[in-house]
Amino acid sequence: MKNEQQKKISDKLTKQLGYTEQEIVNINKYYNSSDRINRDFRHSGYPADYFPWEDVAASVWNNPDDITYIDKECRVCGEQLVKIKFKSPQWTWRQLCGRAGNMILCVNCPCQIQFKLIFMN
Ligand SMILES: [Zn+2]
């Protein structure tokens, strides 16, 4: 983890989504597997506008250096918004359906506000 602010954002997203330690392990296993394995964790329960929250959370945990605050606030809760570089799970790249791009999040709501595709295969 590069700095405290990024760790704080990452921890808050984990807390808001309500994942247990075991779910975090399973989500990371799924995210980092190059074969498509069965998802053995529950879904977050929050609406996912662009990608499943499990994949977004794993992207945040696995790419902590790519988290930054931006100069905009959430229209719903007023919290400062965050930009991440989202990267879809490893198996999606192997199966030629990988996606990567900039995603704007409200970590507090939590809400996926915007996604701009930069790279796909
Ligand atoms: Zn919000």
Whether the predicted pLDDT of 1 surpasses 60: no
Q: How far is the CA of 34 from the centre of ligand 1 (A)?
A: 33
Residue 113 · residue 106 · CB < 8 Å: yes
Q: Which tens digit of pLDDT belongs to each residue from 5-29?
A: 999 999 999 999 999 999 999 999 9
Domain count, the chain: 1
pTM of the model: 0.93
User: For residue 89, which phi and psi values (nearest 5 degrees)?
Assistant: -55, 155
Q: Which tens digit of pLDDT belongs to each residue from 93-107?
A: 999 999 999 999 999
Taking ligand 1, which is a single-atom ion, which protein residues have CB atoms under 5 Å away?
74, 76-77, 79, 106, 108-109
Q: Which residues is 67 bridged to in the sheet?
A: 84
Q: How far is the CA of 114 from the centre of ligand 1 (A)?
A: 13
Q: What is the rounded end-to-end Cα distance, in angstroms, of the chain? A: 28
Q: How far is the CA of 20 from the centre of ligand 1 (A)?
A: 22
Q: Which tens digit of pLDDT belongs to each residue from 33-92?
A: 999 888 877 788 888 889 999 999 999 999 988 899 999 999 999 999 999 999 999 999
- pLDDT for 47: 87
Q: How far is CA 92 from CA 9, 14, 34, 74, in A?
A: 26, 23, 8, 30
Q: What is the domain extent for residue 110? A: 2-120
- Is the alpha carbon torsion for 98, 103, 106, 107 positive or negative? positive
